[in-house]
Structure 1
C-alpha cells in the first residue's frame, strides 16, 4: 500500500459518530511542536480534516482512532492509520509504539506523502490518549474508491475479476468490480491474512483502509474477517 518498492526506509522497521472513553478535555488539549522555521498547521484540536488541507512540509498534530495496528502494512513500513469521524490519515512510523486498533492517538509530525502517494504524517511524537469504538467502514462503489475516500475505512462489494497476484514480499493483490469499475484490493503481508481460498469469479465483501499506490487507488484489509466470500 504505502511503499512496495525495495529502498532504504525513512524510518527503522521493527518486526515486532465515535464514542470517546477519555475525557474530552484530554482529546482537545493538543500541543503542536515544530522545528524553527517549519510551516505550522492551524487545524483546531488536532483535526485530521484540517491537517489534510495544509501544504506538505507543514508541522501538524492530529488526533484519531487507530484503524490499523503497528506493522499491519509491513514490510512497506511500520506505521498505522487513524481516523476522526469520516476523515483519516496514515502515520508512516509507530516510533516503536505498539498501536492497536481502537486506541485514541495524538500524533505530531510533518505532513508528507508516502512513496506510493498516500498523504501521511512522518511522526516526531505519538501519544496514546485512551480507547474508543473503531469508526464503521463507509460503503462505496468500487469505481468510487479515490482521493475522496483516501485515509478512511471503506467497504466494497463486488466480484473478483482478476487472478490473485503474489506481490512478494509485500503481499497479494487482486481486482474487485461491482459494475462501476474495478478497484485493487491489496492484502499486505503484515496482516497475516490467508488469501488461499480466494479466486476469480467469487462475490466478496471487503473492508479496509482506502489507500493508493502510484496513482492506483486500493482497499487494504486489516483483519481476516475484513474479507468475506458471499455464497
Structure 2
C-alpha cells in the first residue's frame, strides 16, 4: 500500500508541474499469402520539467528486457533511458545526454534503410552533440566498457562530408552526399567507405543515387562488403540481407511514379548469394503505396524475417502520441468554453466559439467558429481548408461544400469537432461567408501542438533538400517544409546553405512537424 501511495504521489507530481508525453511507433508487416504477421512497436516517453531539461525513454517493446527491482515488485528496464539538456552559445546548439543512450549518425540510410558505416553506438555514460551552421560533431563515452565514439559532419563546396570512429568494434568510416538540381530534373547521390582499423585495406563501400524527373524517380544503390560484414546494417526484413557476410554484394533498383499521395513502382533486388545459385532469380515485382501503407507483389520471398515464402506483402506503419495536460492544483473542474461576442452590425450580435475553444474543448461537441480562411479548400488536403482567428488555427473538413471560398474570406463554420490523425478538426455542417480580411502568419517560436493547423512562418538556413521537401534550421529547431502535389511550387532555386523565409500551415505527420506552403510566394530566398 505504501508503494502505491508513493507511485500515485510521484505520478501526480509529474503531471502537475511538467510536460509529459507518450508515443508509440508500430512497424507492421503482413504476409498476405498465409496471414503471417511481424510487428515491431517502439515506445517513446518524454518527461520535461524545464524547457532546457528532459528525461527520455526509448524502448523496443518486442525484445527481451532486464528489470529494475523495487522491493517485492519490479519494472522492466527500457532499452534507453537518459537525461537530455539543450542550450545555445553564440548561435551554436549544444545537446548533452547522460545515462543509457545511443549515438546514431549516418548519411547513407537513403534507400531501403541500408546503412554503411556511420555510428550506432550504445553507451551507458555521457554523450554530447554540437551543431553549427555548416557542421555538427558529437562524442559519446561508455563507462561500463571504456569505449568511445565520435563523428564530424561538415558541409564543404556543396558536398556533405561525414567521418566516424568508434573503439567498440575499432571501426572507421566516411560518407558523403551531393544534391544537383536542374528544376524538374535533379540528382541526389551518396557514397560511403567503412573498415576495421586493423584491416583498412579490406574495406566495404556503398554507392547510390536517386534521379528525379517530374513525377518519375529512378533509385539505385550497390553495396560491396569487405572483410568486416558488420560494416553494413540492413533493415529488418530486407530480402537482400541474406548477403550479410564478408565479401558479399547486394544491388537495389526502384522506378517510381508519384500521383498525389499515391506512389506506383517497380523494384529489383539481387545479391551475391542468389547469383551463386542457378536456381535463384533476381527478386522483382510491383508496389503501390499511400502514405504509411505499402502493398507489394513479387516473384519471390519479400519478407526475410517471416517464416515461409511471402510473395504478397503489406507494410503498415503508424505513429500514435498522447500528450498529458498538467493537472491543476487549484481545482478539478474541466475548462469551460467561453464564447466570444462579435458584433455584425449595430442591430444584432452573434456568439461564436474561438478556435482555441475547439482545440481544448470536448471532442464531438458542436461548435460555431468564425475565422479567416488561410488556405483554400482542396489545396493542401482533399475536402478541407484552414481558418484562423486571434487564438489559433483550425482545419475544416467540408467535402460537399460547393461555394468557391478564397484566402481572406471571413467565414462562420458550424459543425462537430473530430480528432483526425492526431489533429483536431471541425466536420462542417454549414459554412457561411460573412466578410473579407487578410490573414497574417504568426512566427513559429517552437514545435508545439499549440501551433498545429495555424498559419505560421519561419526564417532560417536550408540544411537539406530533396524532391518534395527541404529542412530549415531556425537555430531554435529544425523544421521540414513539405510541398503538396497540388501547389506546383518550384524549389529549383532553393539550395542548401541559403537563408529562406517560409510561410504555410503547420501540420504533423508520423510525429514530425511540417510546414505546408500554399503558393510559390510562400517561399522567399533571403540570401
TM value normalised by structure 1: 0.73
- 1:189 deviates by 1.8
Cα shift readout 1:187-223 (whole Å, capped 9, x = no counterpart)? 2222232222222222110111122113211211112
Q: 1:155 to 1:133 in 2, by over 3 A?
A: same
1:23 is aligned to 344
Counterpart selection for 2:398 from 69, 72, 93:
93
CA distance in 2, matches of 1:92, 1:60: 13
- Aligned mates of 1:189, 1:114 — CA distance in 2: 21
- In 1, the alpha carbon distance for the partners of 2:361 and 2:437 equals 27
Q: Which residue in the other structure is 1:192 paired with?
A: 488
Structure number having the greater strand percentage: 2
The answer for the alignment partner of 1:34 in structure 2 is none
Q: Classify 1:130/1:122 alpha carbon distance in 2 versus 1 (closer, same or farther; 3 Å).
A: same
- The 3 A distance-change label for structure 1 pair 23 and 216 is same
> Whole-Å Cα distance in 2 between the matches of residues 187 and 161 of structure 1?
16
1:63-85 deviation per Cα after TM superposition (whole angstroms, max 9, x unaligned)? 10000112221xx4121100111
- In structure 2, the residue matched to 1:139 is 443
Q: Which has the larger radius of gyration?
A: 2
In 2, Cα distance between equivalents of 1:114 and 1:199:
34
Contact 2:375 2:407 in 1 (8 A): yes
Partners of 1:223 and 1:111 lie apart in 2 by: 28
Q: Match of 1:35?
A: none
1:230 aligns with: 526
Number of corresponding residues: 189
Name 1:60's counterpart in structure 2.
367
Match of 1:109 among 415, 421, 428: 415
Equivalence for 2:40: none
Alpha-carbon distance in structure 1 between the residues aligned to 2:464 and 2:344: 47
Gaps of 5+ in 2: 1-259, 263-289, 292-342
Which whole-Å CA distance do the structure 2 matches of 1:150 and 1:27 have between them? 33
The 1:199–1:93 alpha-carbon spacing in structure 2 relative to 1, beyond 3 Å, is farther
